[in-house]
Amino acid sequence: MFDNLLSLMPEIGLAIVQTGVMLFISMCCAVLFGIPLGVFLYFTGRGQIFERPVLFRITNYVVNTVRSLPFVILLVALIPLTRVMVGTTIGPVAAAVPLSIASTAYFARLVEQSLREVPKGVIEAALGMGATPLQITWKVLLAEARSGIVLGITLTTISLLSYSAMAGIVGGGGIGDLAIRFGYYRFQTDVMILTVILLIIFVQIIQFSGNFLARLLDKR
């Protein structure tokens, strides 16, 4: 029953690497753009120090829209953008473009939520000491919400892992794609089982390290 697996070993190895590439690129983007976006949503929101109802509503709307599109649709809709950005529409790097956009929107929302948990009084106390908005962002908001943000990264990574299964549509490859191509279309149950086990292990590792780090950082 496991004879498929041996011959597929190189494919499986490649799939793991492809998943790694997709996750790495899109998580870098999520952190790089999602944090500023989350901070922006937080500050411009209702009752906050830089309340800007119109700007907030537009940004909020864009983030919601990205989040409400089924990932497959986003993947296909973004093909022209992907071509402009990476020169090709196939492969894990190309798949990372829609993945990055989806994960940035998702993570930004999680960042915004964690920032809301910082008591307003703490921010006021810092304002009263003469802190600049930038100092408040770094030294108060992000520093106080850091364990929530780590959990947000964990959650986003796990969502990405399942999104990345659809990357096969644009030839992105990866573990999920392997499961669909061999396990589903060719009825190779052993491949299906192996990929599922791999995915379970990955999710466990990500969740466990995320929880561990969050606990380590949380002094509240």
Residues that bind another protein (CB under 8 A): 119, 121-122, 124-132, 135, 139-140, 143-144, 146, 217-220
Name the residue nearer to another protein (CB basis): 70 or 121. Answer: 121
- Spatial separation of the C-alpha atoms in residues 57 and 45, rounded to whole Å: 8
Quick one: which of 6, 220, 7 has its CA closest to 114?
220
Name the residue nearer to another protein (CB basis): 87 or 128. Answer: 128
Name the residue nearer to another protein (CB basis): 39 or 140. Answer: 140
- Spatial separation of the C-alpha atoms in residues 136 and 154, rounded to whole Å: 25
Name the residue nearer to another protein (CB basis): 196 or 217. Answer: 217
Q: Least distance (Å) from another protein to the CB of residue 182?
A: 47
Name the residue nearer to another protein (CB basis): 22 or 123. Answer: 123
Q: Least distance (Å) from another protein to the CB of residue 198?
A: 36
Half-sphere exposure of 108 (CA within 13 A, CB side): 26
Task: List Cβ neighbours of 114 (8 Å cut-off, separation of 6 or more).
Answer: 38, 145, 148, 149, 151, 152
Neighbouring C-beta atoms of residue 60, cutoff 10 Å: 15
Name the residue nearer to another protein (CB basis): 116 or 146. Answer: 146
Q: Least distance (Å) from another protein to the CB of residue 146?
A: 7
Q: Least distance (Å) from another protein to the CB of residue 219?
A: 4
Q: Least distance (Å) from another protein to the CB of residue 54?
A: 18
Q: Least distance (Å) from another protein to the CB of residue 86?
A: 39
Residue listed under structure tokens 């929530």:
148
- Spatial separation of the C-alpha atoms in residues 71 and 198, rounded to whole Å: 22
Burial letters for 141-171: b for 16+ Cβ neighbours within 10 Å, e otherwise? bbebbbbbbbbbbbbbbbbbbebbbbbbebe
What size, in residues, is the chain? 220
Q: How far from each other are the two terminal CA atoms of the chain, in whole angstroms?
A: 52
